[in-house]
């Protein structure tokens, strides 16, 4: 047995014995149940896959592939798998609780409004919302991780003759629009072939909009999807829009009406009723607009747009595949559903939260045909995020997140979009799309009965001593790991449980079982986080993952863990036992 020493002072070291992980009792029991002779054959492994792991479609070829994957190990035996080899298979990448190899399997032929879209907010920022640099790198990174909605804020440059992408009214640096468009073109369909939506937050005059129209058309060419009519009765499907790029922004009506954006902003600052303030326009930017307007008041005479101005507006308008904007009036008007025209509405997280208190079912009804985009409130200067389930349980398709950092909510977001092959589109549950005989829709605040009970047994963990320095968690002893495991979902399903801590052990064995009562499993995400107990303060981080409950495989499964930023560790993983049953089965 190996030993590990921790230096306490010049003359004293603490010595700890390190052990090799051994098959736990659960693994031994199932192994001998299916291979009483002590050597598991291909036929016995196949029976194990079908009966215990719930892989009803498993074949002899699948069992053979598992055998072949173990041939490089010294413990492999030609006649079959003995206990140690079987245990190594259970801990390996051929036995994941959520296999990344799962292909797109949702129906992709429904209208775009029937899907949740993996959506970014201020996609060009590298860090915080106040002073970080703008770059094409976070745009590339987001697309390669499956994000399907990219947001760009368009502003005139300092000379007013060109367009740049930046967070207006802040200390963030700009990045060239052409570079952003080129980065999107080159990376849009590397991870997923389903459509990419670019949302423009537009602060441009008609001449610059004309430049943008030319730039977008020349960059994307045949990739660009443009509609023949502004009045779409229904959005096309993701399948129809494969490998297409769509532009979504407000139509430039103000120029046809003879008003500049500065004048529009100034008018709205004078009257708060029915205000539609830009989501990314900071207080500083609004003050700049107001000062400019006061120093240079517009002529009282009506402005009549000339031919070139109207042409520029039309060229820009032709780009827009998804029209955005709020109707005049209050919330009831915003959520009105025009049977002849679908559109996109944007609400801040705070606006949505307030709206759900009085108009919950109206939001669900609106999102059955139209798109709802939710974005972080302006006070999240640190690029933090919010609870995505408020939006999802009301049918919001575009729950926009800051992808620059990390944290619980971003982990949950990434976990949700591991579903459906990680293509960036997840089909909404049917109950969000259905209407009853009296035209009633799903009410998120109704009481729901339990549909299923998920039982998860946290068996053991391994890999920390390979991926971390031996003093990473404690300078004087091996770590004291414990696991937090819970459900993120609708309020009634939310739950969090915790194992006991295992002291001074790199290979913790917990063998603790937990039950989770699920009322809306379609919207549930399994949250797992391993922490190291620290008597002096906050626990140290030991890995995390989030997985869509609807796609979890049953049986004894391995779960690789990831860093705070979402990078997968090479060796750190947990061994779990997962099963589902009806409430009366337990």
Q: How far is CA 499 from each of CA 431, 466, 508, 510, rounded to the nearest angstrom?
A: 35, 23, 11, 7
CB 486 within 8 A of CB 496: yes
**Catalytic one among 98, 167, 323, 409?**
167
Q: Hey, is 334 helix, strand or coil?
A: helix
Cα separation, 237 vs 391, in Å, equals: 21
Q: How far is CA 282 from each of CA 170, 338, 381, rounded to the nearest angstrom?
A: 7, 32, 11
Kind and range of the H or E run holding 314 = helix 307-319
Q: How far is CA 109 from each of CA 106, 114, 401, 464, 551, rounded to the nearest angstrom?
A: 9, 10, 26, 44, 20
The per-residue DSSP string of 132-151 comes to PPB-SHHHHHHHHTT--EEE
Cα separation, 22 vs 75, in Å, equals: 14
Nearest Cα residue to 40 out of 57, 23, 20: 23
| 562 among known catalytic residues | no
Q: How far is CA 239 from each of CA 107, 236, 416, 515, 556, rounded to the nearest angstrom?
A: 9, 8, 20, 38, 35
**Tokens representing 556?**
């004894």
Q: Hey, is 548 helix, strand or coil?
A: strand
Specify burial of residue 215 (Cβ count, 10 A radius: 0-12, 13-18, 19+): middle
**Catalytic one among 98, 114, 121, 562?**
121
Residues 6+ apart with CB under 8 A from 245: 184, 185, 188, 195, 196, 197, 198, 220, 223, 224, 225
Q: Strand pairing of 540-548 and 525-532?
A: antiparallel
Cα separation, 410 vs 404, in Å, equals: 10
**Tokens representing 338?**
């025009």
| 289 among known catalytic residues | no
Cα separation, 304 vs 302, in Å, equals: 6
Kind and range of the H or E run holding 307 = helix 307-319
Kind and range of the H or E run holding 28 = helix 25-34
**End-to-end CA gap in the chain:** 42
Q: Which residues pair with 509 in a beta bridge?
A: 460
List active site positions. 121, 167
């Amino acid at each position: 047995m190996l030993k590990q020493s921790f230096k306490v002072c010049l003359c004293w070291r603490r010595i700890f014995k390190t052990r090799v992980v051994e098959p736990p009792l659960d693994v031994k029991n199932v192994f001998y149940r299916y291979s009483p002779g002590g050597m598991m054959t291909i036929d016995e492994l196949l029976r194990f896959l079908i009966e215990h792991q719930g892989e009803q479609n498993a074949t002899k070829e699948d069992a053979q592939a598992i055998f072949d994957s173990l041939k490089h190990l010294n413990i492999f035996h030609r006649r079959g798998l003995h206990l140690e080899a079987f245990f190594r298979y259970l801990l390996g990448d051929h036995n994941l609780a959520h296999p990344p190899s799962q292909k797109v399997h949702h129906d992709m032929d429904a209208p775009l409004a029937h899907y949740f879209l993996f959506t970014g907010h201020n996609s060009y920022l590298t860090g915080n919302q106040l002073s970080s640099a703008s770059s094409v790198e976070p745009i590339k990174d987001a697309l390669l991780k499956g994000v399907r909605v990219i947001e760009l804020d368009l502003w005139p440059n300092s000379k007013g003759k060109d367009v740049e992408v930046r967070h207006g009214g802040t200390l963030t640096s700009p990045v060239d629009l052409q570079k952003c468009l080129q980065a999107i073109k080159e990376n849009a369909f590397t991870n997923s072939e389903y459509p990419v939506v670019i949302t423009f937050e537009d602060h441009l005059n008609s001449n610059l909009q004309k430049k943008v129209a030319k730039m977008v058309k020349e960059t994307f060419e045949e990739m660009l999807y443009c509609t023949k009519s502004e009045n779409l009765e229904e959005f096309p499907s993701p399948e129809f829009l494969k490998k297409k790029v769509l532009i979504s922004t407000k139509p430039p009506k103000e120029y046809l009406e003879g008003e500049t954006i500065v004048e529009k902003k100034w008018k709205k600052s004078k009257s708060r009723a029915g205000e539609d303030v830009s989501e990314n326009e900071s207080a500083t930017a609004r003050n700049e607009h107001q000062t400019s307007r006061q120093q240079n008041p517009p002529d009282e005479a009506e402005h009549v747009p000339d031919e070139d101005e109207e042409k520029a507006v039309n060229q820009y308008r032709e780009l827009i595949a998804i029209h955005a904007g709020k109707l005049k009036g209050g919330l009831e008007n915003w959520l009105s559903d025009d049977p002849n025209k679908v559109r996109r509405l944007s609400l801040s997280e705070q606006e949505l939260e307030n709206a759900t208190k009085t108009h919950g079912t109206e939001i669900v009804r609106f999102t059955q045909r139209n798109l709802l985009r939710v974005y972080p409130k302006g006070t999240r200067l640190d690029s933090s995020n919010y609870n995505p389930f408020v939006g999802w349980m009301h049918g919001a398709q575009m729950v926009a997140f800051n992808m620059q950092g990390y944290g619980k909510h971003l982990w949950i977001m990434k976990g949700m979009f591991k579903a459906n092959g990680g293509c960036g589109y997840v089909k909404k549950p049917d109950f969000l799309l259905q209407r009853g005989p009296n035209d009633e829709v799903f009410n998120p605040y109704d009481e729901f009965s339990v549909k299923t009970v998920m039982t998860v047994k946290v068996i053991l963990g391994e890999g920390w001593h390979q991926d971390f320095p031996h003093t990473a968690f404690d300078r004087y002893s091996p770590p004291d790991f414990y696991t937090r495991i819970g459900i993120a979902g609708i309020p009634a399903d939310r739950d969090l449980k915790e194992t006991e801590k295992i002291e001074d052990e790199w290979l913790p064995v917990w063998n603790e079982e937990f039950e989770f009562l699920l009322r809306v499993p379609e919207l549930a995400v399994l949250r797992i986080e391993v922490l190291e107990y620290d008597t002096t303060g906050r626990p140290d981080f030991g890995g995390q993952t989030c997985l869509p409950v609807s796609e979890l495989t049953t049986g004894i499964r391995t779960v690789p863990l990831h860093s705070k930023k979402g990078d997968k560790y090479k060796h750190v993983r947990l061994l779990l036992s997962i099963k589902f049953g009806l409430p009366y089965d337990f």
